[in-house]
Amino acid sequence: MRLVIAKCSVDYVGRLSAHLPPATRLLMVKADGSVSIHADDRAYKPLNWMSPPCRLEEAPGVWRVVNKAGEELRITLEEIFQDTSYELGVDPGLRKDGVEAHLQELLAANPATLGEGYTLVRREYMTAIGPVDLLCRDAVGGAVAVEVKRRGEIDGVEQLTRYLELMNRDPLLAPVAGVFAAQEIKPQARVLATDRGIRCVVVDYDKLRGIERDELTLF
């Protein structure tokens, strides 16, 4: 993990163009090759980023981060305040709590809960940035990535968005749809998911366990 604090401007050149004017920011370069630019005013979402696979080309005063599609993240460095690297080692990954892990297991056994005609391909489908909870096929055979949470919040939508971005580059899978499944989905998370074309499914944990309840659970 390389952390650089610098005054910089950032330009993204690709399907869309974006510009960040000069300011002091954190540049993060991860072992998987990804590069992200962070400000001090948000908890987790970067201002801009380039997901792997990509390459970083460094020259005096400028970084060029280029992906396979030729899109470019250009970082112009005016002043570097700190440049530090750390070896973090292998992360054991997120351990789901008991309810969330069991919810994933139940949905894997009952994929039709997520949509009519759904079938399970596998649990914990591995990508370059971590495992997708469930990989399914819909009624017409299309691939569907499913992220399962006990409580659906914005960070879960962001996580699924990153998985979908990578999986849709795989010609053997694409196009890949997304489903965000949780016992409860926050309104902000639902709005963000809808904006990104991700379908939300509210699931009833008790009903999946065989306990009858008289409320509608699918949206």
Residue 170 sits in a domain of what CATH number? 3.40.1350.10
Q: What is the pLDDT of residue 93?
A: 56
Tell me the one-letter amino acid at 83.
D
197: CB partners within 8 A, 6+ apart: 177, 178
Q: How far apart, in whole angstroms, are the C-alpha atoms of residue 203 and residue 152?
A: 11
Q: What is the pLDDT of residue 43?
A: 65
Average pLDDT over residues 9-16: 88
Confidence of residue 91 (pLDDT cuts 50, 70, 90): low
43: CB partners within 8 A, 6+ apart: none
User: Quick one: what percent of the chain has pLDDT higher than 70?
Assistant: 90
Q: Is the pLDDT at 98 greater than 90, yes or no?
A: no
Confidence of residue 215 (pLDDT cuts 50, 70, 90): very low
User: Quick one: what percent of the chain has pLDDT higher than 90?
Assistant: 64
> Is beta strand 48-50 parallel, antiparallel or unpaired with respect to 54-59?
unpaired
The verdict on residue 143 lying in a domain is yes
Cβ atoms of 63 and 11 closer than 8 Å: no
Between 98-102, 129-133, 180-184, the lowest mean confidence (pLDDT) is in: 98-102
Q: Final residue of a domain: which of 29, 61, 83?
A: 83
Residue 65 sits in a domain of what CATH number? 2.70.180.20
The verdict on residue 70 lying in a domain is yes
pTM value is 0.56
Tens digit of each residue's pLDDT (9 = 90 or more) over 103-150: 999 999 999 999 999 999 999 999 888 899 999 999 999 999 999 998
Calculate ∠ Cα 88-89-92, nearest 5°. 110
Q: What is the pLDDT of residue 214?
A: 45
Q: Do residues 108 and 70 share a domain?
A: no
Average pLDDT over residues 195-218: 75
Burial class, 113, CB count within 10 angstroms (exposed 0-12 / middle 13-18 / buried 19+): middle
Range of the domain at 2: 1-83
Three-state DSSP class for residue 207: helix
The verdict on residue 88 lying in a domain is no
Domain count, the chain: 2
Confidence of residue 185 (pLDDT cuts 50, 70, 90): very high
Tell me the one-letter amino acid at 39.
A
The verdict on residue 193 lying in a domain is yes
The verdict on residue 91 lying in a domain is no
Tens digit of each residue's pLDDT (9 = 90 or more) over 26-46: 999 998 889 999 998 876 688
Q: Average per-residue pLDDT in the chain? A: 88
Token pair, residue 141, equals: 């055979």
* 81: number of Cβ within 10 Å: 9
Cβ atoms of 19 and 29 closer than 8 Å: no
Q: What is the pLDDT of residue 217?
A: 47
